[in-house]
Structure 1
Amino acid sequence: MLSFFEVIVLTFFALLPISNPFSTIPLYLSLTRGHTKEWSNQQALKACFFMAGILLVFLWSGAIIIEFFGISIPAIRVAGGIIIMQVGFSMLSPKGNSQEISDEAKAESKRKDDIAFTPLAMPSLSGPGSISVVISMAAGSDNLTGYFAISTGILVVVFVAWLAMRGAPFISKVLGVTGLDALTRIMGFILICIAFQFVFDGLGGYFASERFMEPLLNAISLNAN
């Protein structure tokens, strides 16, 4: 059984690479160019509040969603692993992230008075990959302490996202395009490793479950008789 602090750390390192707030820096700078610093900082803060809200809602309602649709925990882990794997491979590709915002969406966002919810919070900071991680972690937790620990880990990632956007001009100047690209690729590699672990855990859980073992045991029992 993992401790409260260990669950926080696990959540942080599982969610940070796929949320990858550093890859949002170019988008944030592009959409806030020409606006006041006060407005830009306000959008960053609102985006983080939306990000926290989206992920926490899916965390605390994850069990209800799983039970309503009759989805098994191994299936959630395998599906989440595949989604995360796809995002990870796209981050290793020179063509960029699969969650990259289209030029049309960017142009529309520049005309909006508020860019916090979309495209910053959704899908950039809390897209399908982040949501799948949160639901998978919710499926693996069976007590309130675990849920509170995961929630704390989510909030730590949100805080990092806020720091990244607040310091976006400085980070972009220091790292440059090449540095941000290299950081994104490193995050992509970590994501692929996490994705494979999710898939292996899901398959292992299925092969060890009664749903898989019962038909085999019945067949063995019939052959023995």
Structure 2
Amino acid sequence: MPAIESALQSFLLALPALFSIINPLGGALIFAEVTGRRTHEERVLLARRIGIYAAAVMLVSLWLGATLLSFFGISLAALRIAGGLVVAAQAWRLLAVPEEREARKAADAASAKTRDREVGVESGGLDEIAFFPLTLPFTTGPGTISVIIALAASRPEAGAARWGFLLGATLAVLVIAASVRIAYASADRVVKRIGHARARVLGRLSAFLLLCIGTQITLTGVSDVLEPLLAARGR
């Protein structure tokens, strides 16, 4: 069935792309350092809220991002080409200078550490830092949002295949959000078992996969532009 095939394909496309850009295991290493003064119960509560907020940010980007751009007159082909280039650029940056991304994430999380000292340990303080900056921009920043919009641009035009695509991508988003929650809640064990060196190797492997996905999205957009021109020329 077209819907089931589209759902499976979009799930297998979105899952590695989102895992590459979010890198829950690498983020857990920084999360453990930032929340070091918290109790285990408070870190678990923070991880749960970050997982929920991250899912909300990604789902809004998936379901509405491409639609909003189309509202401003941006064609699907242009969106695919630009989105694929953005994804490829993000992946290349992760491959070439992963230390730069780690430093930026650490800087984003540092503001959470400062705010953590100011607001104390009450639940309101947890809510305050869980969304900003631990969810946005630390976990799901502009790079994640641009990747999701680019993935949404590769959806089929209409019909059951389109809904299957959105269903598969939505499931991938929920899986990634759940992995963020689990990795952050188990941050202490992640630090002990993986370590920074292995997390960096895993990040580079997933970044290469993300580069291939970005290239494929761009090629799809270029094909959308060239096919009508070649068909008209052949008449």
Q: Place the TM-score, normalised by the shorter chain, in its bin.
A: 0.7 to 0.9
Higher relative helix content: 2
Shift of 1:182: 1.0
Identity of aligned residues (%): 28
Q: Distance in 1 between matches of 2:24 and 2:109?
A: 17
CA contact (8 A) 2:108 2:137 kept: no
Shift of 1:33: 0.8
Q: 172-181 or 131-140: which moved more?
A: 131-140
Computed over aligned residues only, the root mean square deviation of the Cα atoms, in angstroms, reads 2.5
* Corresponding position of 1:121: 135
Q: Does 1:52 align with 2:87?
A: no
Q: Does 1:160 align with 2:163?
A: no
- Structure 1: segments with no counterpart, 5+ residues: none
**AA paired with 1:43?**
L
Residue 152 of structure 2 aligns to a residue in which SS? helix
* Corresponding position of 1:185: 204
**AA paired with 2:31?**
Y
Q: Distance in 2 between matches of 1:55 and 1:102?
A: 18
Q: 125-134 or 50-59: which moved more?
A: 125-134
Q: Distance in 2 between matches of 1:125 and 1:29?
A: 13
Shift of 1:108: 2.5
* Corresponding position of 1:12: 15
1:7/1:104 Cα in 2 relative to 1: closer, same or farther (>3 Å)?
closer
Q: Distance in 1 between matches of 2:140 and 2:107?
A: 20
CA contact (8 A) 1:172 1:180 kept: no
CA contact (8 A) 1:92 1:189 kept: yes
Q: Which has the higher contact order (CA 8 A, sep 6+)?
A: 2
CA contact (8 A) 2:77 2:221 kept: yes
Q: Does 1:42 align with 2:61?
A: no
- TM value normalised by structure 2: 0.80
* Corresponding position of 1:146: 165
Residue 115 of structure 1 aligns to a residue in which SS? helix
- TM value normalised by structure 1: 0.83
CA contact (8 A) 2:16 2:206 kept: no
- How many residues align? The count is 216
* Corresponding position of 1:135: 149
Q: Does 1:24 align with 2:43?
A: no
Q: Distance in 1 between matches of 2:187 and 2:105?
A: 21
Q: Distance in 2 between matches of 1:6 and 1:22?
A: 25
Q: Distance in 1 between matches of 2:110 and 2:147?
A: 30
Max radius of gyration: which structure? 1
CA contact (8 A) 2:16 2:209 kept: no
Shift of 1:128: 2.5
Matches within 5 A, 1:100-111: 100-101=103-104, 105-111=108-114
CA contact (8 A) 2:11 2:168 kept: yes
